[in-house]
Amino acid sequence: MDALAKSISQRLDAFPRVSLGVFPTPVHRLERISKYLNIDIFIKRDDMTGLGLGGNKTRKLELLLADALRQGCGIVFTTGGAQSNHAMLTAAACNRLGLKPILVLKKRGVTENLGNRFLETLMGTDVRYMDTDSYDDIYREMDAIGAASGIGYYIIPCGGSNALGSLGYVDCAREIASQSLKFDHIVLAEGSGGTMAGMALGAKLFLPGTQVHGMMVDTDPFDVITPRLMKEAAELLGIDISSDEKNYTLLDVCGPGYAIPSDEGNAAVRLMAEQEGIFLDPVYTGKAFAGLIRMAQEGMFKPGERVLFIHTGGAGGLFAVR
């Protein structure tokens, strides 16, 4: 690590964290799929972060919930769709820390007692639905519930994707650097943007030469969201990246819509299950891996280059598909 990376690394360590996961997560080669796609592909198992069914939100929550505790909050609100992996993991993390989670979810997607919703039932989580497409409505409702409770409350935005949450994936990039393999490409799902922004910023700092590819599973303007979150996260670390060269690309893999399975994504879920015994999910990682396959088939990875796929979790969603 050069001197600048070392000093940024120290600033990263200075942010308070609560320990929720088991790190570092493993990295290993996908032997059969490497042969099948004729590329050199590895996987980072952030589906094995150790909380709930694993997943990327654990890294964000270590920072966000430390902030909630520091502010003396007793209630933690978050939101997402009815099957939100993020909301379920937030509830699991709050239970561990003795905080009270309240999930105010959009009444969109599978609302029956299946998948992540079933896991929330097991955990005794307070789940409320709002029949709205606007997160602003939901944040207003949280403020109303929070104010009425008379105790301190903390609102984690959808997906935990603010600057502080994104630092969890700056940390992940540093972890990859410490795992000593070098990668030319990192591919991951982008849903609310924090994971991608953190990884792209982290790659700039700790994995020079690595391109990061965000596979967009939703239709939000990620060409605006990604650089904005990167800039805000960089500011938290006291650095200015505004004149840096772009080290990432974005690819649309959304298909028929957010949280609606795509044929391409389903085929990728099956391929990974059949070839490697690893389970992807229909909403994020299946579509993201389908994007990686598309990139491989279009010759975007040169011979001899190493590709790392970040498995961001989502297993709960598998049990909510019909």
List of residues contacting ligand PLP (CB under 6 A): 55-56, 85-86, 159, 161, 189-196, 281, 284-285, 312-314
19 labelled catalytic: no
Minimum CB distance to ligand PLP, residue 104 (Å)? 17
DSSP H helical ranges for the chain: 3-13, 31-37, 57-70, 85-97, 115-122, 135-149, 163-178, 194-206, 222-236, 263-276, 285-297, 315-318
Catalytic option among 9, 19, 84, 149: 84
C-beta closer to ligand PLP: residue 104 or 146: 104
C-beta closer to ligand PLP: residue 227 or 313: 313
Minimum CB distance to ligand PLP, residue 191 (Å)? 3
Contacts of 270 (CB under 8 A, 6+ apart): none
Contacts of 280 (CB under 8 A, 6+ apart): 268, 269, 272, 273, 286, 289, 311, 314
Rounded-to-integer distance, Cα 297 and Cα 295, Å: 5
C-beta closer to ligand PLP: residue 146 or 308: 308
Minimum CB distance to ligand PLP, residue 316 (Å)? 9
Minimum CB distance to ligand PLP, residue 6 (Å)? 27
Strand 306-311 to 185-190 pairing: parallel
Record the tokens describing residue 49, joined without a space.
Answer: 């972060």
Rounded-to-integer distance, Cα 266 and Cα 102, Å: 32
Minimum CB distance to ligand PLP, residue 166 (Å)? 8
Rounded-to-integer distance, Cα 64 and Cα 52, Å: 17
The residue nearest ligand PLP at its CB is 314
C-beta closer to ligand PLP: residue 146 or 193: 193
C-beta closer to ligand PLP: residue 78 or 312: 312
98 Cα distance to chain centroid? 24
CA R_g for the chain: 19
C-beta closer to ligand PLP: residue 7 or 279: 279
Which H/E stretch holds residue 77? strand 75-78
CA-closest candidate to residue 123, choices 99, 143, 140: 99
Buried (b) or exposed (e) across 25-49, using 16+ Cβ within 10 A? bebeebeebbeebebbbbbbbbbbb
Minimum CB distance to ligand PLP, residue 201 (Å)? 13
Contact 76, 156 (CB under 8 A): yes
**Residues, the chain:** 322
Residues noted as catalytic: 84
